[in-house]
């Protein structure tokens, strides 16, 4: 599976401006390479909201920018409609998120996969929420996300995660048990109880990359599955204010440093996945039973499984 990751700039709370930027980059990617999956930068349409506005304004922005995502796998809101159009136009899968989703009275932080026919191939609502997200009225999802892609006539399972999920090993075990050949997730700098708080890097807000890389390497070794953390560069409309690097990790090699892009690297990253060579580690039989039981009983509740 040939993957292009758009490590690029995202403007806060500017859906249409960001969509125009992504459209130009996607066109450049497909005009130079044949790809099966394009991954948008973290928080591709709005940028992160919580922690980047005062709490009262962040709460208003969440309500203002939240959108309905789908009706029976047909895109409904503007962000996923953009993704659907790009998928159809270029014949590729598009993975994008988080997107602020409105579903009735609830608000979710959601990652979406659109397929080459323009339909929604998968939707994942973030399971592990921070206390700040809960205070803002965001609801947790109930199940980890495993998306099915059809690539060169074969089915490929793709696991997804967001932010605080990285600190929850049970989520990654579930993705492993579900047959994921690769796991792709997003993080943008925030104050985490597990991954540490935000730090200042020469005037830009970010997270301690040493801590984040350690978590990624551990999760990849535990599962035997390659992991890509997708970041982005956040623009206030006046200047760059924050960034998170894009970090690919392999189970045996660790971080692939030459494909790790930071605040000065605004360009696509190309990765070829040999899904037949990916060999997830087989967990003990008792762990399979435990994790499946937890999922069957619908026991996923925020940061805790128990």
Cα–Cα distance between 46 and 12 in angstroms, integer? 5
Over residues 119-140, the pLDDT tens digits come to: 999 999 999 999 999 999 999 9
Average pLDDT, the chain: 90
Over residues 227-283, the pLDDT tens digits come to: 999 999 999 999 999 999 999 999 999 999 999 999 999 989 999 988 766 667 665
Confirm if 176 and 224 have CB atoms less than 8 A apart: yes
CATH number (domain holding residue 264): 3.60.110.10
User: Residue 284: its pLDDT value, please?
Assistant: 58
Cα–Cα distance between 69 and 77 in angstroms, integer? 5
Within-domain flag for 22 = yes
Over residues 174-192, the pLDDT tens digits come to: 999 999 999 999 999 998 9
Within-domain flag for 43 = yes
Residue that is written with structure tokens 């971080």 in the block: 255
Within-domain flag for 299 = no
Mean pLDDT along residues 18-27 = 98
DSSP of 79-141:
HHHHHHHHHHHHT-EEEEEEEEEEETTEEEEEEEEE-TTSSEEEEEE-----HHHHHTTBPP-
User: Residue 285: its pLDDT value, please?
Assistant: 58
Give the total number of structural domains in the chain: 1
User: Residue 299: its pLDDT value, please?
Assistant: 37
CB atoms within 10 A of CB 142: 12
Q: Residue 144 is part of which domain span?
A: 2-273+282-293
Within-domain flag for 300 = no
Banded model confidence at residue 305, pLDDT cuts 50, 70, 90: very low
DSSP single-letter state for residue 163 = G
Cα–Cα distance between 193 and 207 in angstroms, integer? 12
Within-domain flag for 303 = no
- pTM of the complete model: 0.91
Within-domain flag for 174 = yes
């Amino acid at each position: 599976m040939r993957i292009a990751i758009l490590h690029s700039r995202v403007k806060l709370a500017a859906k249409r401006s960001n969509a125009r930027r992504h459209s130009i980059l996607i066109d450049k990617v497909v005009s130079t390479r044949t790809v099966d999956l394009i991954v948008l930068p973290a928080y591709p349409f709005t940028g992160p909201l919580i922690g980047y506005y005062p709490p009262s304004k962040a709460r208003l922005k969440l309500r203002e920018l939240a959108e309905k995502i789908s009706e029976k796998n047909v895109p409904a809101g503007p962000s996923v409609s953009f993704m659907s159009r790009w998928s159809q136009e270029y014949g590729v899968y598009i993975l994008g998120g988080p997107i602020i989703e409105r579903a009735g009275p609830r608000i979710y932080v959601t990652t979406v996969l659109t397929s080459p026919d323009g339909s929604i191939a998968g939707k994942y609502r973030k399971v592990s929420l921070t206390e700040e997200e809960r205070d803002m009225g965001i609801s947790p999802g109930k199940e980890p996300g495993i998306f099915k892609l059809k690539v060169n006539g074969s089915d490929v399972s793709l696991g997804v995660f967001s932010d605080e999920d990285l600190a929850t090993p049970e989520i990654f075990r579930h993705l492993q048990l579900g047959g994921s050949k690769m796991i792709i997730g997003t993080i943008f700098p925030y104050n985490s109880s597990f991954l540490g708080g935000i730090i200042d890097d020469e005037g830009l807000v970010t997270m301690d990359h040493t801590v984040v890389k350690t978590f990624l390497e551990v999760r990849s070794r535990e599962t035997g599955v390659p992991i890509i953390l997708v970041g982005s560069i956040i623009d206030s409309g006046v200047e760059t204010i924050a960034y998170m690097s894009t970090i690919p990790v392999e189970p045996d090699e660790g971080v692939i440093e030459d494909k790790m892009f930071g605040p000065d690297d605004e360009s696509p990253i190309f990765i070829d996945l040999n899904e037949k060579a990916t060999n997830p580690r087989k967990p003990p039989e008792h762990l399979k039973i435990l994790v499946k039981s937890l999922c069957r009983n619908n026991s996923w509740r925020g940061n805790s499984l128990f």
